[in-house]
Amino acid sequence: MPEAPDYNQAAEVFRKTMEEALANIDVVNANLKKEQEKAIDMQIAAKDEFNRIQNEAHQISEAYMEQHRKEYLAQMRDEILLEVTRKLILEEVPSDKLKSALELPPKILADAWFYVGFEKLDDHYIGHVGYINQGRSGTVIFYRNDLTIHFPFEFGGGETLAIIDVPTPENWERETKTLLADRQVILEFVAKRVIRDQASKCTYFIGPDKILIQY
Give CA–CA dist 202/212, Å, rounded: 10
Contact 104, 98 (CB under 8 A): yes
Give pTM, 2 decimals: 0.68
For the chain, the structural domain boundaries read: 1-116, 119-214
Task: Give the pLDDT confidence of 15-59 residue by residue, as tens digits.
Answer: 677 666 666 666 666 666 777 777 777 788 778 777 887 777 777
Contact 174, 162 (CB under 8 A): no
Show the low-confidence residues of the chain (pLDDT under 50). Answer: none
Strand order in the sheet with 147-155: 119-120, 126-134, 137-144, 147-155, 160-165, 210-214, 203-206
Predicted local confidence at residue 43, as pLDDT: 80
Contact 95, 145 (CB under 8 A): yes
Cα 104–110–115 angle (5° rounding)?
A: 115
Give CA–CA dist 28/103, Å, rounded: 82
Predicted local confidence at residue 169, as pLDDT: 97
